[in-house]
Amino acid sequence: MKCIINRRAEFSASHRYWLPELSEAENTEKFGPCVRSPGHGHNYVLYVSMEGDLDEYGMVLNLSDVKQVIKREVTSQLDFSYLNQAWEEFKQTLPTTENIARVIWTRLAPHLPITRIQLFEHPELWADYEGNDMEAYLTISTHFSAAHRLALPTLTLEQNSEIYGKCARVNGHGHNYHLEVTIKGEMDARTGMIADLVAFQKAVEDYVVEPFDHTFLNKDIPYFEQVVPTAENIAIHIRDLLQEPIRAIGATLHKIKLIESPNNSCEVYGVSDELLVPRQIQEAAIA
């Protein structure tokens, strides 16, 4: 029986975004404050996913052995390092989050049956790499606070209360929504980027966070005058709002995850990706 296991590891390292073939002004325009010398640092968190058959001892792999491989091949070499000089690969392609994940895959693949590398640069930015040449995924997380009421205008209060429970109360209620936006694309062979991170963050801020934050969704967002602002419908609307802005920065919108509360969240995929996701997985993600 196949099973996927995950191993977590950490390392602290610094890096700098700087291309010697560009002028200081060009580097600053392209990378912003990340060009500052001698660089800046992060506490990276790494997750290595591996797949295999269970052995007679009920294990895919001995996790003690996995730990030693990750330490030998990755963390002992990167911990407290300057990434631009730590590995030869980072001299050709900058050590962005997504490119670090890709290179870690290449270092571990000869030794472990890996299926995914996930690397957190910090809790609001992480990358996923699944072995597809230069294709990777980049996620940013953010939040907004908003109120809503779940009710169909064609139904009575009693009927809406039967469907939506307390969420149908006439004066609404609020949430601190946590939003995760994932894009995918091909890393540039020189910059190591799927897309300009600042432009990515600005698109999410301009099209979602700023318009939605501190609003009553039913009244302040025209779309929800006719559509009940359930978490599912909010996620779909955010997906539709971001589809073109993400395409404009050279990437593809892969997934929207909206966490309404610690107990409720939903996920919807970009229009180009939802055909690739089995229907039962999409429905389970909304549960």
pLDDT per residue over 71-117, tens digit each? 999 999 999 999 999 999 999 999 999 999 999 999 999 999 999 99
Distant-in-sequence, close-in-space partners of 211: CB < 8 Å, separation ≥ 6: 221
**Complete domains list, the chain, with CATH:** 1-131 (3.30.479.10), 137-287 (3.30.479.10)
Question: How confident is the prediction for the chain on average, in pLDDT?
Answer: 94
As a whole number of angstroms, the distance between CA 140 and CA 145 comes to 17
What's residue 96's pLDDT?
98
What's residue 262's pLDDT?
95
pLDDT per residue over 160-195, tens digit each? 999 999 999 999 999 999 999 999 999 999 999 999
Burial classification of residue 187, based on how many CB atoms lie within 10 Å of its CB (0-12 exposed, 13-18 middle, 19 or more buried): buried
pTM for the model stands at 0.92
Which has the minimum average pLDDT: 115-119, 156-160, 164-168, 277-281?
Answer: 277-281
Catalytic residue IDs: 167, 214, 260
Please say if the pLDDT value at position 121 is more than 80. yes
Place 274 in a pLDDT band, splitting at 50, 70 and 90: low
As a whole number of angstroms, the distance between CA 255 and CA 225 comes to 25
What's residue 1's pLDDT?
79
Please say if the pLDDT value at position 223 is more than 50. yes
Distant-in-sequence, close-in-space partners of 262: CB < 8 Å, separation ≥ 6: none
Polymer length of the chain: 287
